[in-house]
Amino acid sequence: MKTLSRGMQILIGAIATVLLAALSMAGITLLGGGPNPGGARNPGATRCAAPSFAGTVVNVTTTDRGRPGMMRGGMRLSADRATVVHGKVSFLVTNAGSIPHEMLVVPLAGTQSAGTRPVGRDGRVDEAGSLGEASATCADGEGEGILPSTAGWVTLDLPPGRYELFCNLQGHYLAGMYTELTVT
Ligand SMILES: [Cu+2]
């Protein structure tokens, strides 16, 4: 059998290297983009494997335009549903932005609407009455913030009422990171 020329050996080596690189990239994509138990709204864009949740799942997404100093009007917190039935409610918060975010669940008083809480000099609103928050990276409950391209989650027992979901990192409420949720 004729041995391969030196040039052919190099060529085959190069092809194998390219194939291996392509395969490992495909592997990373598969690992990072797996199905997300929260639902269709957030199609697995995070590096976290969230657990399967008890009760109704609300998918929350946080976004920003990724420009430092771009505060007012540049950030959003949205939920895939405006109403849930009372009882166990799990919030899966996916941070699709470029900086850390969080989500708190705080009752709205009377006819108060979302986005009307007074903002203090520290750029934050009063968290009194909060029923819980998702502010940990790839984990349940409270933490140091949900890093970009990851998720945090929290399961709460919610009585009927009107609630505001918002991010209370400095300046983020003022920038538009709030939405309303009605529990029936
Ligand atoms: Cu935020």
Torsion of CA 78, 80, 82, 87, to 10 degrees: -110
Inform me whether the pLDDT recorded for 81 exceeds 80.
yes
Distance 71 CA to ligand 1 centre (A): 10
Distance 146 CA to ligand 1 centre (A): 9
Mean pLDDT of 160-181: 97
**Residue 18, token pair as written in the block:** 């390219």
What is the total count of domains within the chain? 2
Q: pLDDT: is 161 or 36 the higher one?
A: 161
Q: What is the pLDDT of residue 113?
A: 95
Task: Name 57's bridge partners.
Answer: 90
Mean pLDDT of 167-179: 96
Q: Is residue 38 part of a domain?
A: no
Q: Is residue 41 part of a domain?
A: no
pTM of the model: 0.73
Does 78 share its domain with 118? yes
Distance 168 CA to ligand 1 centre (A): 6
Domain that holds residue 124: 56-183
Per residue in 106-147, pLDDT (tens digit) is 999 999 999 999 999 999 999 999 999 999 999 999 999 999
Inform me whether the pLDDT recorded for 2 exceeds 80.
no
Does 26 share its domain with 109? no
Q: Is residue 39 part of a domain?
A: no
Does 60 share its domain with 21? no
Does 26 share its domain with 104? no
Does 14 share its domain with 77? no
Strand 151-158 to strand 56-64: parallel, antiparallel, or no bridges (unpaired)? unpaired
Judge contact between 91 and 103, C-beta under 8 A: yes
Which residues are near ligand 1, the ion (C-beta closer than 5 Å)? 101, 167, 169, 172, 177
Does 1 share its domain with 72? no
Q: What is the pLDDT of residue 95?
A: 97
Inform me whether the pLDDT recorded for 184 exceeds 70.
yes
Distance 167 CA to ligand 1 centre (A): 5
**Residue 170, token pair as written in the block:** 């400095």
